[in-house]
Chains A and B, each alone.
Chain A
């Protein structure tokens, strides 16, 4: 089984801050890594697929990078609507999938 970890588990930030979230896989998953945003009480929303490709309609302040075992989601300038929980998900073992435990971003 491929295990996914995320760090930090939570962070506090201010509007306008640059935020970086890390996701690590227990073995190489090449670039089969996706990122989701989940606002409270809502379904998750796809942000990034294939480690670095921005899903249509997602603001360009979101970016993803990485390959192999280490990946990063960056929000270049945090906006009020970005306060949410972010999950990574590997699809290297598709059609079986694993999510990371999540990173909660809240207001400082």
Chain B
């Protein structure tokens, strides 16, 4: 059964770069039927899509974060990663990775990791 597991530091200093990795447990990582995304949720608030990436490495980003975000894939390790630069306290959130699937003309976050809390504080 597919599992997605986020990993990375739980505390990042202001102005530094937040780095997280998502490890995908099954062979669906290389399947053309899926692609992969990052979503975050500040404490007590709603969900915000950060960006998505295909196995090929082509990535798409939320325009509001685009200048600070990089998402990449490591096909040899079944992993994809998130880097968010110049973080401030407003970037404190639970960060989720997810598998994106498509049916018809709808695409959706079909499976989610458990999430990891990243706090930005000195």
Contact = CB atoms under 8 A, between A and B. Distances in A.
A95 B35 contact: yes
Interface residues of B, number: 27
Interface string A84-108: 0001010100111111111000000
A63 interface: no
A50 B46 contact: no
A50 B60 contact: no
Given A30-B105, A50-B106, A87-B46, A96 B112 contact: no
B114 to A, nearest CB: 6
Contact of B46 (A30, A33, A45, A101): A101
A70 to B, nearest CB: 16
In which size bucket is the chain A interface?
20 to 34
Contacts of B62: 96
B107 A95 contact: yes
B80 interface: no
A91 to B, nearest CB: 4
B47 A96 contact: no
Interface of B: 35, 37, 39, 46-49, 52, 60, 62-63, 96, 100, 102-115
30 contacts: A30-B105, A31-B106, A32-B105, A34-B108, A43-B96, A43-B112, A43-B113, A43-B114, A44-B112, A46-B108, A46-B110, A49-B103, A49-B106, A50-B104, A50-B105, A50-B106, A55-B110, A87-B46, A91-B106, A91-B107, A91-B108, A94-B107, A95-B60, A95-B100, A97-B52, A98-B49, A99-B47, A99-B48, A102-B46, A102-B47
